[in-house]
Amino acid sequence: MSSPMLCNENLLNECDVVRMIHERHFWVEYEPIIAMHSGTIFGYEALARFILNERRIPPMPVLMVAHQNPELFFHLESELKALQLFHRPNNAMLFLNLDPHNFSEPKHIAFWKQLFGNAQDICIEITENTDDMQTAFLSHCLNEIQTMGFPIAQDDIGNDDKPFCFDLTRRADFLKFDKTWLLKIKHCPDYQEILKGFLAFAKAQGKRSILEGIETEGDFLLARDLGVDFVQGYLFKHLNHHSC
């Protein structure tokens, strides 16, 4: 799809989100995650895409508006995840993004258990989309996911707009490093040493590392030199899958 992006998504309101769900104005893009050792596709991250009045809208404002109403947020997330599971590409791990607030009610947890019950080869990416992260609440969410038996990925490590939670780092099977590392390293080589420290920790703990936002050959070579396990980003866009 190549619709123009909405210029001012701040105008988005709850009614728009309800309409998008009702009229099913959303789809999924599956971004490949490439194994560095083989160059093959190891998995796909399912990314939500939205359209309103024939214009594409970035996911973040949609999720932010929905987040203000817990029932609406759950409704949106349940529709998205069901679609993301249904159209998943074969023979690859599926990475699904879940906000911890999806686990706030027992009935919501029951829903996820049923939806994911028979799913194989999925990994739950945990990130916080709002600034009201509560560690106890996050730990509760991690307990539920681990009880279901799914691997966990810590998303957006290094993104300065996201909170950092050590309990999540400790329990994660995959550490996903945000694309902002690439920019930071270009501006100041000290960041490369910080990232090397994280990667050494990941290796020592048997956690697997993913560097996001690979856009150029140079980014790819840097990822290779750093020894990350997997990469994803625009450079591999030609390998993307869509739900429609």
Q: Which stretch binds Ca ion (CB under 5 A): 7-15, 63-71, 125-133, 197-205?
A: 125-133
Closest by Cα among 41, 92, 14 to 238: 41
Q: How far is the CB of 197 from Ca ion (least distance, A)?
A: 20
Span between the terminal Cα atoms of the chain, in Å: 10
Q: Cα angle vertex 127, ends 176, 3, to 5°?
A: 90
Q: How far is the CB of 97 from Ca ion (least distance, A)?
A: 5
129 binds Ca ion (CB under 5 A): no
* Residue 200: strand, helix, or coil: helix
Window 45 to 74, contacts with Ca ion (CB under 5 A): none
Q: How far is the CB of 218 from Ca ion (least distance, A)?
A: 20
Q: Which of 21, 48, 63, 97 binds Ca ion (CB under 5 A)?
A: 97
125 binds Ca ion (CB under 5 A): yes
156 binds Ca ion (CB under 5 A): yes
219 binds Ca ion (CB under 5 A): no
Nearer to Ca ion, 16 or 34 (CB): 34
Nearer to Ca ion, 97 or 209 (CB): 97
- 91 forms bridges with which residues in the sheet? none
d(CA 78, CA 73): 8
d(CA 143, CA 138): 9
155 binds Ca ion (CB under 5 A): yes
Nearer to Ca ion, 74 or 177 (CB): 177
How would you label 127-159 residue by residue, b for 16+ Cβ within 10 Å and e otherwise? bbbeeebeeeebeebbebbeeeebbbbbbbbbb
Q: Which stretch binds Ca ion (CB under 5 A): 19-27, 56-64, 121-129, 136-144?
A: 121-129
> Which residues are at the interface with Ca ion (CB under 5 A)?
97, 125, 155-156
